[in-house]
Amino acid sequence: MKKKILLTCMTAFMIFTAACSNSGNGGEAKPTNSTNTPANTASEGKETDKPVEKVTFSYFNGVAAAKDINSNETTIGKILEDQTGVNFKIEHLVGDLNTKVGTMIASNAYPDVMIPDAAIDKILEAGAFIPLDDLIEEHGPNIKRVYGKYFNQMRAADGKIYFLPFSNTVGEYIPDPNINQGAFWVQRRVLKEAGYPKVTTLDAYMDLIKNFVDKHKDEDLTGIVSLTHDWRFFATSNPPNHLAGYPNDGNVIVDMNTFEAKTYAADDNTKRWLQKLNDMNAGGYFDKASFVDNYDQYLAKLTSHKVVGFFDYGWQFNNAQAALRDAAKVDPAQDDFVYFPLPVTFDGQKDQYLDPPGFVKNRGLGITVSAKDSVRIIQYLDNLLTDENQILQRWGIKGETYEVDDKGRMYRTAEQIAKINEDFNVSFGFKYYSWNWPLYGNGSSLPDGNSVAPGTQPEVFQMGLTEGDKLILDKYGVKTYAELFAAPDDRPWYPAWGIAKEQGSPQQIWETKKDELTKKYFPKLVLAKSADFEKVWTEYTNAFGKLDTAAYEKWTTDEVKKLIEASKQ
C-alpha cells in the first residue's frame, strides 16, 4: 500500500495503567460474539457444538514496556482463550523501534498482529497491514457498533481501514480524576518542605526545585531531567505550547478565535522554554544525560529518589510512578518520593493540560500480511468489544477485583485496591489488557452509567487514595488531581496531531525535517554556555526558516476547519 496515514511526533493518547486506574475484567461475563449473542462454546452452546481448536498468534507491541508473555498466562487472557480458543504470544519492544520495524519490512516477515506506534507510517507504506473492511463487515458486529461513527476518519487515502485505534469514546464521556496527560511533576516532599505553595508559573516551579536541591546537597540530587529518547522527544519539545496555555495539538497551536494553526518549534515560547533549561543547566540543576539516556534509563532515574522534577505525560512515566506508589503503600514514608502534578504555565495564565474528548486516528492495532488466520483474529478482537468483556478487561472478576452495590454501582473494596499492585497487574492481565487492544476508549461509560475504567469511577478513585494522597490533596483544597487543573475548552478538531498525513506528502516531509532540526539543536541550546545561547538560537532559526512552514500551517488550518465543520453536521 503506497498511501497511508502518517502520524506526527506525538505518541499515543493516554495510557491508563495506574494501579487504581488499571482496567479490570468481568470474569463472570458470558462469552459473547456480540452484545447479546452467546458464542458457540461448550458451556453456552448446544451439544452438537464442537470445541474450538486452540491457536496461538504472535503480537508485537511497539509502545508499552513490559515482560513478554503468552496472553493465556494471565487470568484475563485465559478467560478469553476459553471463550475463543485464541492465545497471543506478546512481544514488547526492546531497543530502537525504527530498527525493529525496519528489520521486519526488509524480511517481509511480520507478527500476526502489531502496534507499530510511531513507525506506523513505515508499516502502512510497506503494505504490511491487510485491509479490515470485509473482515469487519462479515465478522465484526461489535467493531461496527463501537467504531462505526469513526469509520470515515479511520479510512486511509485509498478508502480502506487498516487498523483499529484505541481512543474511541463509547457512551457518556466521564472525565479522568487523575492526571494521565501532561504536567510539570515534582516530588511530594518538595511541596511539603515548602509548606505546600501554590505553584503556577515556570519561574516559581524552577525556583522550587533549585531551593530544594540547594538545601539537600548531601543527597546528590538531580534538579530536573527531560525525556528525549527516539520518538518520545516530544516530552522535551511539547512544553512550550502547554506553558503558553494550550493543549497537546502536536506541532501547532490553534487559535481559539480564528482557528488558525501556527507552529511553535521556533517561536518565542520555545525560546523561552529552552532558555530556562539552559539557565538550569548553567546552575548545575539539569541532567545533561537527558539527551543520551534511553527510555528505560529515564524511568530508572525517576524511581531512584534522586530526580526532583520534570515535565512528562502521566501515561508515559506511569511504570515509574506505579513503582513509587507501590513502595509507599508498603512504607508510607516513601510517599515523599511519589510525584505530584502541577499546572504550570509561563505567567500563570489559564492552563489546558487536560484533554477534551477527542479521537486519535493515526495509531492502533492492525493485522499483518503474515497473519495465519485473519478471521480468527478479527473474531477475537470483536469478542473483546462486548460490554461483558470490556468489564473483564477493565474491572476484573466480581467478588475478586470489584463489587456491585445495591444501586448497581461498581466499586472496589479497600482490600481489593490494596492487592492490585504492579505484580498483580501482570499476573491478572490488567498490565496487558487495559490498553493496546480494541476497547471502549478512556472516558467511556457502560449503558448502566458505570465508568468503563475503574480509575474514572468516583467511588474507586476515592477508595484508591492513600493517606498521603488525601493529605496532599487536602492541603490544596481539592478532592481529585484533575481539580488542580483548568477544565478543557471544547476543541472539535482535537488533537491536531492526529490528522492523517500521507507518507511523502509535504506535511510529512516538513514534520520529518522539523524533528531533525529540533533533535540537532535543542541539546546545543540547552547545554550551551549562557553567553552563546543567542548565537545558537540564531543558527537554529535560520535553519528552521528554510522549511516551508507557511504551507504546513495553511494545510493544518484547513484540516482543522474541516473537522470543525464536520462536528456541526
Q: Dihedral sign for Cα 71, 77, 78, 82, please.
A: negative
Cα–Cα distance measured from residue 478 to residue 271, given in angstroms and rounded to the nearest whole number: 34
Q: Give Cβ neighbours of residue 108 (< 8 Å, ≥ 6 apart).
A: 369
Q: Is 548 contained in some domain?
A: yes
Q: Is 434 contained in some domain?
A: yes
Cis? peptide before 454, omega within 30° of 0: no
Cell of 36: 447479546
Q: Are residues 251 and 165 in the same domain?
A: no
Q: Is 416 contained in some domain?
A: no
Closest alpha carbon to 510 in 235, 254, 251: 251
Q: State which of 412, 444, 476 marks the end of a domain.
A: 444
Q: Is 37 contained in some domain?
A: no
pLDDT of residue 257: 94
Query: Measured in whole angstroms, how far is the alpha carbon of residue 365 from the centre of its chain?
Result: 14
pLDDT of residue 307: 98
Q: Are residues 215 and 268 in the same domain?
A: yes
**69 membership: H or E segment, kind and range:** strand 69-70
Q: Is 102 contained in some domain?
A: yes
Q: State which of 444, 478, 507 marks the end of a domain.
A: 444
8 Å CB contact between 227 and 185: no
pLDDT of residue 25: 33
8 Å CB contact between 466 and 328: yes
Q: Are residues 204 and 332 in the same domain?
A: yes
- Per residue, the 3-state secondary structure of 447-474, as one string, reads CCCCECCHHHCHHHHHHHCCHHHHHHHH
pLDDT of residue 22: 40
Cell of 253: 497551536
List the Cα angle 199/270/352 in 5-degree steps. Answer: 45
Q: Are residues 148 and 238 in the same domain?
A: no
Strands 222-225 and 307-313, how do they pair?
A: parallel
Q: Are residues 331 and 224 in the same domain?
A: yes
Q: Are residues 163 and 89 in the same domain?
A: yes
Query: Measured in whole angstroms, how far is the alpha carbon of residue 130 from the centre of its chain?
Result: 25
Q: Are residues 344 and 316 in the same domain?
A: yes
Q: Are residues 237 and 313 in the same domain?
A: yes
pLDDT of residue 525: 98
Cα–Cα distance measured from residue 250 to residue 254, given in angstroms and rounded to the nearest whole number: 10
Strands 252-254 and 69-70, how do they pair?
A: unpaired
Q: Backbone phi, then psi, for 422, in 5-degree steps?
A: -60, -40
| Burial call 412-429: b when 16+ CB within 10 Å, e when fewer | beeebbeebbbebbbebb
End-to-end CA distance of the chain: 31
Q: Backbone phi, then psi, for 469, in 5-degree steps?
A: -60, -50
DSSP secondary structure code for residue 388 in this structure: H
8 Å CB contact between 68 and 59: no
Reduced to 3 states (helix: H, G, I; strand: E, B; else coil), residue 563 is helix
Cα–Cα distance measured from residue 116 to residue 78, given in angstroms and rounded to the nearest whole number: 25
Distances (CA, A) of 16 to 166, 255, 512: 12, 29, 29
Q: Are residues 192 and 301 in the same domain?
A: yes
Q: Backbone phi, then psi, for 526, in 5-degree steps?
A: -75, -40
Containing structural domain, residue 89: 55-174+359-395+425-444
Q: Are residues 132 and 208 in the same domain?
A: no
Cα–Cα distance measured from residue 40 to residue 104, given in angstroms and rounded to the nearest whole number: 36
Q: Are residues 330 and 364 in the same domain?
A: no
Q: Are residues 363 and 349 in the same domain?
A: no
pLDDT of residue 232: 94
Q: Is 22 contained in some domain?
A: no
Residue 123: which CATH number?
A: 3.40.190.10
Tell me how many domains the chain contains: 2
- Tell me the pLDDT of the chain (569 aa) as tens digits: 433 333 333 333 333 333 333 433 333 333 333 343 333 333 333 344 556 799 999 999 998 678 899 999 999 999 999 999 999 999 999 888 999 999 999 999 999 999 999 899 899 999 999 999 999 999 999 999 999 988 988 999 899 999 999 888 899 888 889 999 999 999 999 999 999 999 999 999 999 999 999 999 999 999 999 999 999 999 999 999 999 999 999 999 999 999 999 999 999 999 999 999 999 999 999 999 999 999 999 999 999 999 999 999 999 999 999 999 999 999 999 999 999 999 999 999 999 999 888 788 888 999 999 999 999 999 999 999 999 999 999 999 999 999 999 999 999 998 999 899 889 999 999 999 988 899 998 889 999 999 999 989 988 898 889 999 999 999 999 999 999 999 999 898 999 998 878 878 999 999 999 999 999 999 999 999 999 999 999 999 999 999 999 999 999 999 999 989 877 76
Q: Is 221 contained in some domain?
A: yes
pLDDT of residue 565: 86
Q: Is 15 contained in some domain?
A: no
Closest alpha carbon to 264 in 291, 278, 246: 246
Cell of 292: 543520551
